[in-house]
């Protein structure tokens, strides 16, 4: 049986310019690798009238229970200004013990490490009892509508059971082995428009300036203390991300003012409870000022927590054995595709050190890449004991 070297495979994956949602042939490429290992595969392409089509892959080796799944993504963020890079971002280069290229950190190297680990595992354990699956998306860095979310819906419809899922996102702040993510805060974006009455600056009594009301609302939003955090989560926070008044003249009171904000909320709240709290503020201030407003909410995910079980502790022990660091359980950071997968399976996240993700000269330490492959191999060996 063929085995795959994690460094060689990571280089091959980085060569595909898979800026979200471009596939560039990568799903077919990875499918061939998995078929050569004995996996049954299905490329799942989803699209809708408002968004680009996205290719995803679900592959499974074996048909028995338990089914251990690895989830990851092969899409990457844009490289930015190419002249700022010391290498071509899609021509992977090794320098000073690091592999440099877009996706080296987030998260093509992690996918390569897991496939390498699987190839080693099945060489030694031909008749293991259970199944190994991979859920790979091309839409994690984008709007995440036609990616993992729809794959999960497909798996539910097909009654495909996953017993545990390991998401390979870069979870460690500084050193491999520091952190396992067992949950994430929810995320909700608000797009607020305050509608005033346009007029001449010299005659304010004939107009109603929406910016004045917008400032009042934003001040009140920023003064909300949602909570002080919990045992497992940091406090809920609201950040104003955009303020826009489309007005080209300095002697005109504008008719409309807009602002966007994002809230990261813990498990003391739901998206609905947050909306109700904010709507009361909007209604109160707009009523007081006799103005109208519109609000659009976009919910990226609810908060969730996977309570540690025996598999979680096993993975923690494997990481400690190889890195000599006992990883802490954490819920910090942004959202990930675990927010969709947790609806069908307990899951955790563990991958590389995330210091260079989305940056110029994104990179992974070759030592970390080798150790992550060892960790993934040890996890499989312990899970299927």
Among 26, 54, 60, residue whose Cα is nearest residue 41: 60
Q: What integer pLDDT is reported at residue 48 of this predicted model?
A: 87
Cα separation, 102 vs 100, whole angstroms = 7
Burial of 9 (0-12, 13-18, 19+ CB in 10 A): buried
Q: Is the pLDDT of residue 1 over 80?
A: no
| Candidate list 75, 139, 362, 368, residue with the active-site label | 75
pLDDT range class, residue 50, cuts 50, 70, 90: confident
250 belongs to the catalytic site: no
pLDDT-derived band of residue 12, with 50, 70 and 90 as boundaries? very high
User: Which three-class secondary structure state does DSSP give residue 109?
Assistant: helix
Helix and strand totals (H; E) in the chain:
9, 19
Pairing of strands 164-167, 347-349: parallel
* pLDDT for the residue 49: 85
Give yes or no: 239 in active site.
no
Distance from the Cα of residue 147 to its chain's centroid: 11
- Let me know: does 131 contact 62? Beta carbons within 8 Å: yes
When pLDDT is averaged across residues 4-31 and rounded to a whole number, the result is 98
Is pLDDT of 83 > 80?
yes
- What confidence tier does 10 reach under pLDDT thresholds 50, 70, 90? very high
Average pLDDT over residues 184-212: 97
Q: What's the pLDDT score for residue 334?
A: 85
Report the DSSP beta bridge partners of residue 76: 19
**For the segment 328-362, what is each residue's pLDDT rounded down to a tens digit?**
999 998 889 999 999 999 999 999 999 999 999 99
pLDDT of residue 101: 98
Res. 51: pLDDT tops 90: no
Q: Is the pLDDT of residue 273 over 90?
A: yes
In this predicted structure, what is the pLDDT of residue 374? 98
pLDDT of the residue at 271: 97
Q: What percent of the chain has pLDDT over 70?
A: 100
Q: 208: pLDDT confidence band, cut at 50, 70 and 90?
A: very high
- Domains of the chain, CATH where assigned: 6-184+303-383 (3.40.630.10), 193-301 (3.30.70.360)
Separation between Cα atoms, residue 143 and residue 136, nearest integer Å? 16
* Catalytic position from the list 139, 140, 169, 368: 140
CA dist list (Å): 360 to 81, 110, 279, 356, 377: 8, 19, 40, 8, 30
Pair of tokens at residue 179: 């952190």
8 Å CB contact between 372 and 318: no
Q: How many residues does the chain have?
A: 385
**Backbone phi, psi, residue 240, to 5°:** -80, 125
């Amino acid at each position: 049986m063929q085995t795959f070297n994690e460094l060689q495979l990571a280089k091959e994956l980085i060569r595909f310019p898979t800026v979200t949602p471009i596939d560039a042939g990568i799903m077919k490429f990875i499918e061939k690798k998995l078929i050569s290992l004995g996996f049954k595969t299905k490329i799942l392409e989803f699209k809708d009238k408002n968004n680009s089509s996205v290719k995803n892959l679900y592959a499974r080796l074996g048909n028995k229970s338990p089914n251990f799944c690895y989830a990851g993504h092969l899409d990457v963020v844009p490289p930015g200004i190419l002249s700022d890079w010391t290498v071509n971002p899609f021509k992977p280069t090794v320098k000073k013990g690091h592999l440099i290229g877009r996706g080296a950190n987030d998260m093509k190297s992690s996918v390569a490490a897991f496939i390498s680990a699987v190839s080693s595992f099945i060489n030694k354990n031909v008749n293991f009892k259970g199944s190994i699956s991979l859920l790979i998306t091309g839409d994690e860095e984008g709007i995440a509508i036609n990616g993992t979310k729809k794959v999960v819906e497909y798996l539910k419809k097909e009654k495909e059971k996953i017993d545990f899922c390991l998401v390979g996102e870069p979870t460690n702040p500084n050193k491999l082995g520091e952190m396992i993510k067992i949950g994430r805060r929810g995320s909700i974006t608000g797009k607020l428009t305050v509608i005033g009455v346009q007029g001449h600056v010299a005659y304010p009594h004939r107009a109603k300036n929406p910016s004045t009301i917008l400032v009042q609302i934003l001040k009140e939003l920023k003064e909300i203390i949602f909570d002080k955090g919990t045992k497992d989560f940091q406090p809920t926070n609201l950040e104003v991300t955009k303020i826009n008044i489309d007005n080209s003249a300095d002697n005109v009171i504008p008719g409309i003012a807009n602002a966007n904000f994002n809230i990261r909320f813990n498990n003391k709240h739901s998206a609905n409870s947050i909306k109700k709290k904010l709507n009361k503020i909007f209604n109160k201030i707009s009523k007081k000022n006799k103005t109208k407003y519109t609000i659009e909410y976009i919910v990226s995910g609810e908060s969730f927590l996977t309570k540690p079980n025996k598999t979680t502790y096993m993975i923690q022990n494997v990481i400690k054995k190889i890195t000599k660091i006992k990883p802490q359980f954490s819920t910090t950071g942004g959202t990930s595709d675990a927010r969709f997968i947790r609806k069908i399976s307990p899951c955790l996240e563990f991958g590389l050190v995330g210091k260079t993700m989305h940056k110029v000269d994104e990179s992974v330490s070759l030592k970390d890449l080798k150790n992550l492959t060892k960790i993934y191999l040890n996890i499989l060996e312990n899970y299927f004991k």
